[in-house]
Amino acid sequence: MTRIETDICIIGAGSGGLSVAAGAAQMGAKVVLLEGHKMGGDCLNYGCVPSKALLAAGHKAHETSVSAFGIAGHAPEADFAAAKDHVQGVIETIAPVDSQDRFEGFGVHVIREFGHFISEREVQAGDHVITARRFVIATGSRPFVPPIPGLETVPHFTNETIFDLRARPAHLIIIGGGPIGMEMAQAHRRLGSEVTVLEGMTALGRDDPQAAAIVLEKLRAEGIGIVENAQVSQVAGTGSGIRVTTEDGRGFDGSHLLVAVGRKLNVDKLGLEAGNVAHTRRGVEVDAGLRSTSNRRVYAVGDAAGGLQFTHVAGYHAGVIIRPMLFGLPAKARTDHIPWATYTDPELAQVGLTEAEARERHGDRLEVARFPYHENDRAIATGRTTGFVKVMVVKGKPVGATIVGAQAGELIQIWALAIANRLKMSAVAGMVAPYPTLGEINKRAAGAYFSPRLFENPWVKRVVRLVQRF
């Protein structure tokens, strides 16, 4: 057994752990980084990166098939295995950024073993016992596979295996209509599969319903079957495929099955009892600074911290904990300014409060400013007129924004900036945006907030009439 003493021991080399390691080591801390599986974690290997790469292949197929602007579309010859080569190629291109070599170059001691606490200040990983001043739990999550009768005997995919499938599924049934289910549904449909999504409640149910409805309408128009209120209660193999049955007795037949019903946090095999780290099924119990409430040497970041499950959140968490760990400065994690996007076509993006949340929290003080894509000149010129932006405003400041439409994930960023820095609507309205860009949609939404104040205000008219006399 080798004993190692270090300043910081990070468990997990995914989005969160790597961000902590890179920052801490480059600022002079001694860092040990444990990774039991693949460097880069979920995002690089089974999550964001492969899903966006597969969506890009689907997008190309779709664009090829559409007739527009005087250019005739034609049926694409989609080579499914080649699309998967593209997915692997993208992973391999990005992988060096997350690699053991790169982190060793920063001076990080990388150990390729799973770690678990053996005491409040010791973690064991293979033959190593690491004693550290501080520990960071960055162990992420894995697909939750629910105990649906039959599922244990019927072959099925999760996000950890679907990207290895090289033969196009004839009919993919997806259990779960969250972001994973919807992104994978559109990618597969556009690459030539029949797709049925079975959602127990409401598809894209965490998002604004008006915005989600626009995405669902487009997906259905592309031929994806989306069945809501369809809680799957049984799965069985048929001679040639699978049959999925819902609680109300409806049956759905397909050739392949993808389970996308949420995540299970990787905290169960961490020896958290031995480490005196309080936790629940929802993650490590942390205070506002992401520090364990029971063992003050321990921090948690990313999915393991039990909040929003996004790569940029894991990266943000890393920045939050580096302040106290390296400089002894206080820091608190905010959630009100965190954006997210679902990369279907059209994209769906949110930051801060949805309209319903803002109404509940702020009541009559809430004003909602809107602007539709179909009044934006660039959207008209490029045929991307579906969608809208709406901004939830309280006392002149945005508290949330929803965008559905082309490049919503890019367009939401200005509202993320505004909310993070508590800017007023006037900051966005006063910005000069290049013409013609989709980004003008945001400026026009801010303008829509001020329009009634300027154009329907009798005082403004009186002042203008008065000034005109001189």
Ligand X SMILES: NC(=O)c1ccc[n+]([C@@H]2O[C@H](COP(=O)([O-])OP(=O)(O)OC[C@H]3O[C@@H](n4cnc5c(N)ncnc54)[C@H](O)[C@@H]3O)[C@@H](O)[C@H]2O)c1
Ligand Y SMILES: Cc1cc2nc3c(=O)[nH]c(=O)nc-3n(C[C@H](O)[C@H](O)[C@H](O)COP(=O)(O)OP(=O)(O)OC[C@H]3O[C@@H](n4cnc5c(N)ncnc54)[C@H](O)[C@@H]3O)c2cc1C
State the binding site for NAD(+): 176-183, 199, 262
By CB under 6 A, is residue 286 in contact with ligand Y? no
By CB under 6 A, is residue 311 in contact with ligand Y? yes
Residue of 181, 302, 346, 405 interacting with ligand X (CB under 6 A) = 181
How far is 47 from 180, CA to CA, in rounded Å?
9
Closest separation in Å from C-beta 18 to ligand Y = 7
314 binds, among ligand X, ligand Y, none (CB under 5 to 8 A by kind): ligand Y
Rank residues 205 and 452 by Cβ distance to ligand X and give the closer one.
Answer: 205
Structure token pair of residue 227: 């069945």
Q: Which of residues 290-309 bind ligand X (CB under 6 A)?
A: 309
Q: Is 403 within 8 Å of 416 (Cβ atoms)?
A: no
Q: Choose among 286, 294, 266: nearest CA to 333.
A: 286
246: β partners: 232
Closest separation in Å from C-beta 368 to ligand Y = 26
By CB under 6 A, is residue 201 in contact with ligand X? yes
Q: Choose among 71, 34, 9, 21: nearest CA to 383.
A: 71
By CB under 6 A, is residue 48 in contact with ligand Y? yes
**Which residues are CB-neighbours of 307 under 8 A, at least 6 positions away?**
283, 313, 333, 335
Count of alpha carbons within 13 angstroms of residue 128, beta-carbon side: 21
Structure token pair of residue 299: 């921090």
Q: What are phi and psi of 174, to 5 degrees?
A: -115, 125
Task: Show the CA angle centred on residue 181, arms to residues 77 and 114, nearest 5°.
Answer: 105
Stretch near ligand Y under the rule CB under 6 A, chosen from 20-28, 43-51, 232-240, 275-283? 43-51
Rank residues 87 and 353 by Cβ distance to ligand Y and give the closer one.
Answer: 87
Distance of CA 441 to the CA centre of its chain: 23
Closest separation in Å from C-beta 142 to ligand Y = 8
Q: Is 253 within 8 Å of 238 (Cβ atoms)?
A: yes
231 binds, among ligand Y, ligand X, none (CB under 5 to 8 A by kind): ligand X
Rounded alpha-carbon distances, angstroms, from residue 213 to 112, 201, 220, 331, 412? 44, 14, 10, 38, 18
Rank residues 333 and 341 by Cβ distance to ligand X and give the closer one.
Answer: 341
Question: Which residue ranges are tagged as binding site for FAD?
Answer: 52, 115, 139-141, 303
By CB under 6 A, is residue 54 in contact with ligand X? no
- The helix/strand/coil state of 304 is helix
Stretch near ligand X under the rule CB under 6 A, chosen from 258-266, 277-285, 368-376, 454-462? 258-266
Structure token pair of residue 383: 């045929």
The two beta strands, 194-198 and 225-227, are parallel
Closest separation in Å from C-beta 199 to ligand X = 5
110: β partners: 33
Residue of 11, 172, 277, 438 interacting with ligand Y (CB under 6 A) = 11
Q: Choose among 410, 419, 405: nearest CA to 348.
A: 405
Q: Is 282 within 8 Å of 307 (Cβ atoms)?
A: no
Q: Choose among 8, 17, 32, 44: nearest CA to 304.
A: 17
Rank residues 306 and 428 by Cβ distance to ligand Y and give the closer one.
Answer: 306
146 binds, among ligand X, ligand Y, none (CB under 5 to 8 A by kind): ligand X
By CB under 6 A, is residue 125 in contact with ligand X? no
Residue of 73, 155, 262, 383 interacting with ligand X (CB under 6 A) = 262
Amino acid at 89: G
Closest separation in Å from C-beta 361 to ligand Y = 25
Structure token pair of residue 11: 């468990």
337: β partners: none
By CB under 6 A, is residue 176 in contact with ligand X? yes
Rank residues 179 and 275 by Cβ distance to ligand X and give the closer one.
Answer: 179
Q: Which of residues 324-363 bind ligand X (CB under 6 A)?
A: 340-343
By CB under 6 A, is residue 290 in contact with ligand Y? no
151 binds, among ligand X, ligand Y, none (CB under 5 to 8 A by kind): none
Phi-psi region of 43 (alpha: psi -120 to 50; beta: other; left: phi over 0): alpha
The two beta strands, 242-246 and 251-254, are antiparallel
By CB under 6 A, is residue 37 in contact with ligand Y? yes
By CB under 6 A, is residue 43 in contact with ligand Y? yes
Q: Which of residues 312-371 bind ligand Y (CB under 6 A)?
A: 312, 314
201 binds, among ligand X, ligand Y, none (CB under 5 to 8 A by kind): ligand X
200 binds, among ligand Y, ligand X, none (CB under 5 to 8 A by kind): ligand X
Stretch near ligand X under the rule CB under 6 A, chosen from 24-32, 68-76, 170-178, 315-323? 170-178
Rank residues 6 and 15 by Cβ distance to ligand X and give the closer one.
Answer: 15
How far is 143 from 180, CA to CA, in rounded Å?
11
Rank residues 108 and 416 by Cβ distance to ligand X and give the closer one.
Answer: 416
Applying CB under 6 A, which residues contact ligand Y? Answer: 11-17, 34-38, 41-43, 46-48, 51, 114-116, 138-141, 159, 180, 266, 270, 302-304, 309-312, 314
